[in-house]
Structure 1
Amino acid sequence: MIIVTGATGTLNGATVEHLLERVPPSHIGVSVRAPERARPLADRGFRVRRGSYDDPAAIRHSFADAEQVLLVSSNDITADVVAQHRTAIDAAVAAGARRILYTSAHGTGFDTPYPPLAIHAATEEHLAASGVAWTALRNGFYGDLGQLLGPWQSTGTIAKPADGPFSWVDRRDAAEAAAAILTSDSGFDGPVDLVLPSPVTLADFASAASDLTGRPVDRVVVDDEQWVADEIANGVPEAVARFTLSMFQATRDGHFAGSDPTLTRLLGRQPRSVAAQLADQISG
């Protein structure tokens, strides 16, 4: 059985749907914090059990009969996230899983200005020491384009701190790739970079936005401290603004500049481009 955590969320919810194209629902279990939210999955034949990274007994019970477990990284900003991940990994090992997969991030490492990458690195260390086969799905960035780009549709500008090359991957592509790996005969041992064939910059987003809208969209570079001050003036807590700034700093230090063909190979097509993702934002 394949057990998927976070299946009521956007990323692993989509992964479950792609798994269903490859295996019957009786071969898929989901481990969720709120089983009542997963009732639609139970009604379709998936095994649903409560599991929390903060409850070792419950998470281990939810992993029973697992051959593979897909762990989504915790988004609990108030918790010791590395400890949560260790709890989940240890529970999967205790449940007898033969492979553990984890949604990591491209550029993972300890020597980086962007804090989540060190969390992923520590988690991958624990996976490597677990004694079972493991795969780290090092996804490119994904999420809300509005947060990344700001209100460009109304201002005609993408006004952000200086950036560097990075991959912005459509979450649907990341989910499809995860399902392909889970059902593959290949091992995919260790870290696997799931990124665009070529990295992009915010200038590329501005160019694509100009082409899509037929009007100029300019990339405006804002001084780091000025940008933080502007964010605070707009009601963003300073800690949050500086956390976001660290992502831009990491891009321009080259932490996300790599490319890899694996995502394209798994999808059997080109990943959705930034232009395609922008078009979805405009139409949505």
Structure 2
Amino acid sequence: MIVVTGATGGLGGATVEHLLKRVPADQLGVSVRDTAKARHFADRGVRVRQGSYEDPAALRDSFAGAEQVLLVSGNDPAADLVALHRGAIDAAVEAGVRRILYTSQQGAVPGNPYRPSETHLATEAMLGDSGVAWTALRNAAYGSLDLVLGPWQRTGGIAGPLDGPVPYTDRADVAEATAAILAGARSFDGPVTLTASAAVTLDDLARIASGLIGRTVTRVVVDDEQWVAEQIANGVPEQPARLMLTWNQAARAGYFAGTDPLLAELLGREPRTVTDRLAAGIGTTA
């Protein structure tokens, strides 16, 4: 059995949907905070059990009988995520899980100024000490492009701190590849990197957007502290604003610049490009 945590979230839920195309439903389980929100999986034959990283006993029950578990990394900035991940790993080990997969982050290496990198590095180290086979999925940035670009369709500009090349990747592609790894016969040991095929800067994205809409989209570089101040003035709390700043600082330092062919290999096709995503999002979101 394969058990997926966070299955009512975006990445976890999409991964389960792809697994259902590859694995019989009675060989799948999900561990979720609110089982009512996973009713659509239960109705299709997936085993649904309540479990959260804050409740190791419930996790052990959720993981019972699983050969593989996908641990979707926590994202609460106020929580002790390393401790929560440790509890989830321990629960998987105690439940007899044979392989743990963990959603890590591209560029999770020492020195990366993007603060979540420290959590991912610590979690990968705990996995290495767990005595169980493990895979860390170092996913490239897969959030909505609007989170990076801002309201460019309305303003005609992309304003933000100095950045660097990033292989912005479609979440649906990451989910499909994750399902392929979970359901496939090939084992991946340790960290693997899943990225789109090309890394681009915000300057590149401005040029691509300009070509798509037929008018110039400008790229405006804003001083780091000025950008933080503008975010706060627009209602963003200082802590998340500074967290996002560290992401830009990591990008400009090249921590996210690399690409890897594994995602395309797992998909059996080229991943969606930023051009594809921008074109699909014009008039809506990207």
Q: TM-score range, shorter-chain basis?
A: over 0.9
SS at match of 1:93: helix
Return the offset for 1:283.
5.0
Deviation at 1:200, TM superposition (A): 1.2
Separation (CA, whole Å) in 1 of partners of 2:83 and 2:117: 15
In 2: Cα distance, 1:239 partner to 1:4 partner: 30
Whether the aligned pair in 1 keeps the contact of 2:32 and 2:48 (CA below 8 Å) is yes
- Matched residue type, 1:73: S
Give the Cα separation in 2 of the matches to 1:140 and 1:73.
14
Partner of 1:99: 99
> In the alignment, which residue of structure 1 is the partner of 2:70?
70
Q: CA deviation at 1:198?
A: 2.3
Structure 2 spans left out of the alignment, 5+ residues: none
- In the TM superposition, 1:1-284 aligns within 5 A as 1-284=1-284
Q: Distance in 2 between matches of 1:153 and 1:68?
A: 43
Give, as a single letter, the amino acid of the residue that structure 1 aligns with 2:78.
T
Task: Describe the SS at the equivalent of 2:31.
Answer: strand
Q: SS state of the match for residue 188, structure 2?
A: coil
Deviation at 1:125, TM superposition (A): 0.2
1:78: how far off? 2.0
Taking a change above 3 Å as real, the CA distance of residues 180 and 110 of structure 1, as seen in their structure-2 partners, is: same
Task: Supply the AA of the counterpart residue of 1:255.
Answer: Y
Q: Residue 172 of structure 1: CA displacement?
A: 0.1
Structure 1: runs of 5+ lacking an equivalent: none
**Is the Cα contact below 8 Å between 1:224 and 1:245 reproduced in 2?**
yes
Letter in 1 for 2:121: A
State the number of aligned residues: 284
Q: Deviations over 1:135-194 (max 9, x none)?
A: 001000011222211110011110110001112110000000000101111111100000
Tell me, yes or no, if the aligned pair for 1:145 and 1:281 is still in contact at 8 Å: no
Deviation string 1:8-42 (CA, Å, 9 cap, x unpaired) is 11111110011111111001000001101111110
Deviation string 1:64-83 (CA, Å, 9 cap, x unpaired) is 00000001001222210011
| 8 Å CA contact retained: 1:177, 1:263 | yes
Alignment TM-score, normalising by the size of structure 2: 0.97
Structure-2 separation of matches of 1:253 and 1:127: 28
Matched-pair identity in %: 63
Query: By how many angstroms is 1:237 displaced?
Result: 1.6
Whole-Å separation in 2 of the counterparts to 1:204 and 1:181: 32
How far is 1:220 from its partner? 1.2
> Aligned letter for 2:44?
R
How far off is 1:99 after superposition? 0.5
Contact 2:153 2:283 in 1 (8 A): no
CA–CA distance in structure 2, aligned partners of residues 70 and 229 of structure 1: 38
- Where in structure 1 do 4 or more consecutive aligned residues deviate above 4 Å? none
Contact 1:113/1:249 (CA < 8 Å) preserved in 2? yes
| TM score, norm. by length of structure 1 | 0.98
CA drift at 1:279: 2.0
CA distance in 1, matches of 2:130, 2:273: 36
CA distance in structure 1 between the aligned counterparts of 2:202 and 2:91, rounded to whole angstroms:
41
**Contact 1:167 1:256 (8 Å CA) reproduced:** yes
Tell me, in whole angstroms, the C-alpha distance in 1 between the residues paired with 2:233 and 2:201.
Answer: 26
